[in-house]
């Protein structure tokens, strides 16, 4: 090879990897011992500095106490999207992800059309439960880290590794008030895989998960009908059925059903973007021979 630049474009940065990487605090090691002494004497320095982020903290010593009492201090501020039903399961053709679309603030429905599946990149998906901002921000951050990994190493990171990145972040901020319950799915060389990650830094690989207030109802439908050797059509129908049942019984879930399929060949597909659950309910009840209005059998006695 006579090309000294290994075929790279001239515009390609020849800067050392460390100086273009997002890890801007790589000189931290020299500081730690001095900082330690400093912290003993005057407390924290008031900011989180990690991996290029610099989060402003509340003044004073009791940061965790501040975060815990935010609800009384600023009503509405932390009152975002709590109820939800999200589910995902592995089957022979990959992973199926099904979610509802309701966001609530207490009893108020702030939206019935929320996107609870975060399209991290073309081979990773994350579901959203708990704090919407925490899920959105950190999963986008993982997308960035995945891209950096790809550029450095010339291959995509495995799903195990990408999920570990997110779990490590959750470990770093544990107890600081982040709220996240996500099913992290994706497809790599070994096919599709599924992880559950939450804000306690739990990271579990599994075949079937349902997360959120409607999750218990979804589990009921899923566990009775789940088989590993389902076809894609059967899996999609099961996903729709489970979400519809959950939204019927759990008032914090509702809106529309969205279905994603993660294939075994390194990408995901959007199967259904929005199916109205109130239409689905009547459809399912009519298939049973009911009206869907709950007036079968003994006539109701009013008054």
Partner 1 sequence: MDLENYTNVNIFKKVYEKREVSSIHNVVEQPHHLLKDNTQHAKGGFNPYVNNQGTTVAIAGKDFVLVAADTRISQGFNILSRDYSRTTKLTDQCVITSGGMVADIETLHKLLIAKVKTYQRQFKKTPTVESLAQLLGNTLYGRRFMPYYAFNLLCGIDQNGQGSVYGYDAIGSWDKLTYGVQGSGSELGAPILDNQFVGHNYLVKTLPDDVSVVEDTGKDIINSIAERDIYTGDQVEIVIVDKNGIRVKREPIRRD
In the complex, which residues of this chain contact partner 1 (CB under 8 A)? 24-25, 27, 30-31, 34-35, 37-38, 41-43, 45-49, 52-63, 65-67, 69-70, 72-78, 80-81, 108, 110-111, 114-115, 131-137, 176-178
Residue whose CB is less far from partner 1, 77 or 303: 77
Which residue in this structure is represented by tokens 């932390």? Answer: 78
Q: How far is the CB of 127 from partner 1 (least distance, A)?
A: 14
Q: What is the CA radius of gyration of the chain?
A: 23
Residue whose CB is less far from partner 1, 67 or 232: 67
User: Is 190 annotated as catalytic?
Assistant: no
Residue whose CB is less far from partner 1, 69 or 216: 69
At CA 14, angle to CA 13 and CA 18, rounded to 5? 90
Inter-axis angle of helices 232-249 and 215-225, to 10 degrees? Answer: 140
Q: How far apart are CA 173 and CA 201, in angstroms?
A: 9
Residue whose CB is less far from partner 1, 113 or 225: 113
Residue whose CB is less far from partner 1, 116 or 203: 116
Do 85 and 250 form a contact (C-beta atoms < 8 A)?
yes
Q: How far is the CB of 109 from partner 1 (least distance, A)?
A: 8
Do 255 and 102 form a contact (C-beta atoms < 8 A)?
yes
Q: Which of 24, 45, 84, 86 is catalytic?
A: 84
At CA 174, angle to CA 169 and CA 176, rounded to 5? 110
Q: How far apart are CA 185 and CA 162, in angstroms?
A: 10
Question: What are the residues facing 80 on neighbouring strands?
Answer: none
Q: How far is the CB of 126 from partner 1 (least distance, A)?
A: 13
The tokens describing 282, both together, are 């009547």
CA atoms within 13 A on the CB side of 17: 5
Number of Cβ within 10 Å of residue 107's Cβ equals: 7
The tokens describing 291, both together, are 């009206």
Q: How far is the CB of 102 from partner 1 (least distance, A)?
A: 13
Percentages helix, strand, coil for the chain (3-state, rounded to 5) are 35, 25, 40
Residue whose CB is less far from partner 1, 138 or 209: 138
Residues noted as catalytic: 84
């Amino acid at each position: 090879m006579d090309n000294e630049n290994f075929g790279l474009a001239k515009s390609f940065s020849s800067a050392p990897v460390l100086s273009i990487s997002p890890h801007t605090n790589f000189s931290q090691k020299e500081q730690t011992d001095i900082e330690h002494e400093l912290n003993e004497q005057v407390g924290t320095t008031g900011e989180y500095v990690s991996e290029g982020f610099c989060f402003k903290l509340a003044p004073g010593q009791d940061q965790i106490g501040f975060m815990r009492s935010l609800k009384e201090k600023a009503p509405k501020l932390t009152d975002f999207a709590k109820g939800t039903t999200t589910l995902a399961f592995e089957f022979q053709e990959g992973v199926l992800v099904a979610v509802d679309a309701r966001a609530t603030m207490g009893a108020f429905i702030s939206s019935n059309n929320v996107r609870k599946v975060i399209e991290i990149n073309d081979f990773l998906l994350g579901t959203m439960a708990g704090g919407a901002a925490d899920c959105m921000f950190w999963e986008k951050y993982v997308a960035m880290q995945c891209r950096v990994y790809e550029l450095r190493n010339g291959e995509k990171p495995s799903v195990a590794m990408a999920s570990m990145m997110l779990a490590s972040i959750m470990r770093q901020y544990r107890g600081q008030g982040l709220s996240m319950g996500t099913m992290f799915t994706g497809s790599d060389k070994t096919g599709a895989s599924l992880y559950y990650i939450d804000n306690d830094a739990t990271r579990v690989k599994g075949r079937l998960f349902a997360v959120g207030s409607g999750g218990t109802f979804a589990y009921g439908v899923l566990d009775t009908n789940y088989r590993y050797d389902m076809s894609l059509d059967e899996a999609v129908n099961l996903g729709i059925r489970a979400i519809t049942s959950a939204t019927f019984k759990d008032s914090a879930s509702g809106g529309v059903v969205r279905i994603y399929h993660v294939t075994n060949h390194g990408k995901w597909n959007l199967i259904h973007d929005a199916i109205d659950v109130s239409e689905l309910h009547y459809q399912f009840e009519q298939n049973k021979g009911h009206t869907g209005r709950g007036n079968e059998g003994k006539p109701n006695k009013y008054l």
